[in-house]
Amino acid sequence: MSVVRKWLRVLHRDIGYVATGLTVIYAISGVAVNHVDEWNPNYIIEKTQTPIIPLDDSIFIAEKTADYVISQVGEKGKVKSYFRPDPETFQIFLEGNTISVDLKEWVVSQEKVKSRSLIRETNFLHLNAPKKIWTYIADIFAAALAFLAISGLFMIKGKNGIKGRGAWLTIAGFIIPVIFLILYYY
């Protein structure tokens, strides 16, 4: 084994070990955000509607109406704030729950939000939300992936190496994105 190939193997192996965690994180998040039009990759949102008995009061008082609505739907969370987007709607914000009251029909819509554990954290990192030093870690990771890909080409000699079967498979790997660029981009 040549010295170059020996070092390629050593570096490929050790960088590969380090890259495992990040590769899995990026893979999970990649699938999650790839389907952003079909599902929410960060939150589980549960929406419900409940008709309630109208509050018999001619004067609207936010605190009183909020207390009444919350008791009617059986919620117990602390009220963070209120908002009236229009004269017929009253919104009450609780922790993880937005209650919207149709003051004309007295129908209460609730939107309960829960974080998608693990997937949200992977998205946070994958989409570089932290910025700061993480930007450079992600850059190093990208360079490491490029190294793993290129070094991988030269690790095996013979008919299964880059001069044989490996060449055809590598060409196939380039052709796939080119086909889709021709189909969708040009």
Partner 1 sequence: MKSVIYILLSCLLLNISLLADDAKKFGKEITLKEKTSISKILANPKNFVGKKVLVEGTIVDVCSKRGCWMEIASDKEFQKIKIKVKDGEIVFPMESKGKSALVEGEVYEIKLTKEEAIEFGKHEAEEKGTKFDPGTIKGPVTLYQIKGFGALIK
Half-sphere exposure of 121 toward its Cβ, with a 13 Å CA cutoff? 5
CB neighbours (10 Å) of residue 154?
Answer: 16
According to CB under 8 A, which residues from 127 to 186 bind partner 1? 127-130, 132-134, 137
Question: What minimum distance in Å lies between the beta carbon of 157 and partner 1?
Answer: 30
Contact between 144 and 14 under an 8 Å Cβ cutoff? The reply is no
Q: Does 94 bind partner 1 (CB under 8 A)?
A: yes
According to CB under 8 A, which residues from 6 to 25 bind partner 1? 18, 21
For residue 47, give the DSSP letter: E
CB neighbours (10 Å) of residue 94?
Answer: 18
Contact between 26 and 126 under an 8 Å Cβ cutoff? The reply is yes
Q: Does 71 bind partner 1 (CB under 8 A)?
A: no
Q: Does 47 bind partner 1 (CB under 8 A)?
A: yes
Question: What minimum distance in Å lies between the beta carbon of 42 and partner 1?
Answer: 8
**Which residues of the chain form contacts with partner 1 (CB under 8 A)?**
18, 21, 36, 40-43, 45, 47, 80-81, 83-87, 91, 93-96, 98, 113, 115, 121, 124-125, 127-130, 132-134, 137
